[in-house]
Structure formats: structure tokens, C-alpha cells
Amino acid sequence: MAATADGRSNAFARLDIKGEFVNLKSLLSLALVCGAIGAVASDASAADLSVKGQIQPAGACSLALSNAGVIDVGELSRQTLSKWNAYRDMSLAINCASPTKVAIKVVDNREGSTFFDAWLGLGTLGIGSYVIRGDDKKGNLDGKRPITLTSWDGGSSWNDGSGGLSNNSRHGSPLTSWGNPDHAFPRFPVAFQTLTAALQVEVYIHTPALDFQDEIALDGSATLELVYL
């Protein structure tokens, strides 16, 4: 993890989209990768025990996705794919040791494969894209309803973000944070300890680019980076 100027570690979560069109069947998954645990090495005459951990400084935060980040869109048919958008719900949870102002930056690890400029790529150029949106009405920020905010200048100014986590690194890599809807304009991010953000993942498949005679793999990957403000 990368450390901030005050010694706190930035947290990361990676989204992997896996699947393929095989005999008109596809599985789409978002796999959340949060870290790895070291293995215990052994041989016939000796055994090594490793104890690993991390002491979190004050204000450190963690993030996680619901359902281990896995989304299954189920069975697909060519007729279904004629104009195909799939919608699935999930949630993002952020927990901090003490009230802290944070934001999320979405980095598309398959940026060169996206069909829509501001969406996320599926790994193969032209086959489609996906986007992550939020629903503030279902969110919870320390017991209150949050409002999603977006900054295009590194956090100097903020605008209502229409409930979405956007990736558009070609136009400035925006930050997404959360504020209090009761505050007057201009709104700014607020410090919190716990946040549950309701998310909706929309996947679009560009059917003219598909060859239904061959397998087409879905290999989207994005990193959600927690940024301290």
C-alpha cells in the first residue's frame, strides 16, 4: 500500500470482470481482491511459523464490496444481446477508525478496451463497457443519507455527482466522495466513520462487434483507490 504524508496507508480494492460467450452463455463476475496471506512453509524435519499483521494508525480506513464483489448475469441468448444492458446491485463499505474525510478514485486497468469513453473496459476493444453508479437514497453515512460528490480538480472544488463513481482518466481522473445533503451549496465532503454506498453496475455489450461463432472473453479490471482528503 502507498503511504500518505501523515503515515496512513491508502487502501485499494480491485474489481475483475471475468466471463465469456460460449454457446450463448456468459458469466460476468466482479472479484474483489483485498490482499494475500503468507503461507506456512514446511519440510519433513522443520516447520516455520510466520506471524503477519498491520497496526493501523489513527484515522486509517478500509473498504470492501458486498458479495465478495461477484456479479453473475446468468444465461444470455443472441436475441437478448440484440440491445443488451445488464444491471446488478452491490454495495461499497468504508470503515474508519475515527471520523475521516476520504474519496474514491477509480482506475480502469483495461482502459484501452472501453467502448464508451467515460466507462470502463471489458478487456477486448469494441465489445462493450461497464459503469458503476450509486444510489444515494439507499446509502448510509453514520446513520444519515449521504450525497455523492465529484471533484475534477483533485479535491479543490466539489459538485453533486449524481450518485456515480466515474472513471474518465482521459479527462482528469475525478474523485468521488460523500457529503451532507442538508448542507448549503457549495457542498464539500464530510468526515465519517462508516459509509455504505449502494451501487449499481451497468454492463453494455456492443453486439455488432460480436462474432457468435467464437468465444469472447470478458476481462474487465478496475482498481478503487481510497484517497485521504
pLDDT score recorded for residue 199: 87
Cell numbers placing 91: 454495495
- Distance separating alpha carbons of residues 23 and 6, to the nearest angstrom: 53
Reported as half-sphere exposure (CB side, CA atoms, 13 A), residue 148 has a value of 24
Bigger pLDDT: 184 vs 63: 63
Alpha-carbon torsion angle 34, 94, 65, 67, nearest 10: 110
Nearest partner of 121 among 180, 181, 205, judged by Cα? 205
Alpha-carbon gap, residue 226 to 229, rounded angstroms: 10
Question: Using one digit for the tens of pLDDT, what is the confidence trace for 38-66?
Answer: 334 444 566 656 565 555 556 689 999 88
Sequence ranges of the domains in the chain: 13-31+60-228
pTM: 0.72
DSSP-H helix ranges across 100-145: none
Q: Are 20 and 216 in contact (CB under 8 A)?
A: yes
Flag whether pLDDT at 160 surpasses 70. yes
Q: How far apart are CA 26 and CA 218, in angstroms?
A: 9
